[in-house]
Amino acid sequence: MNVSLSLGPLVSLIAGCLILIMPNLLNYIVALYLIVIGVMGLFGVGGLHI
């Protein structure tokens, strides 16, 4: 059995759960996500898979 886990869906799942638990974290989660995506785009790590 092969288990392939992508980083994007995993991050969005964790962020969604945190937003449901603590809605005031929404701004920080969105900002952190955008910063991480921007850094990955600048350094060309778009195809990162765990």
Q: For all residues of the chain together, what is the average pLDDT?
A: 76
The verdict on pTM exceeding 0.95 is no
Q: How many alpha carbons lie under 13 Å from residue 3 in its C-beta half-sphere?
A: 0
Which pair of structure tokens corresponds to residue 33? 């996500």
Structure tokens at 9: 């869906």
pLDDT tens for 19-37 read 888 888 888 878 887 888 7
In the DSSP assignment, the letter for residue 10 is: H
Looking at residue 49, the DSSP 8-state letter turns out to be B
Nearest to 14 by CA among 39, 32, 2, 35: 32
Residue 12 pLDDT: 77
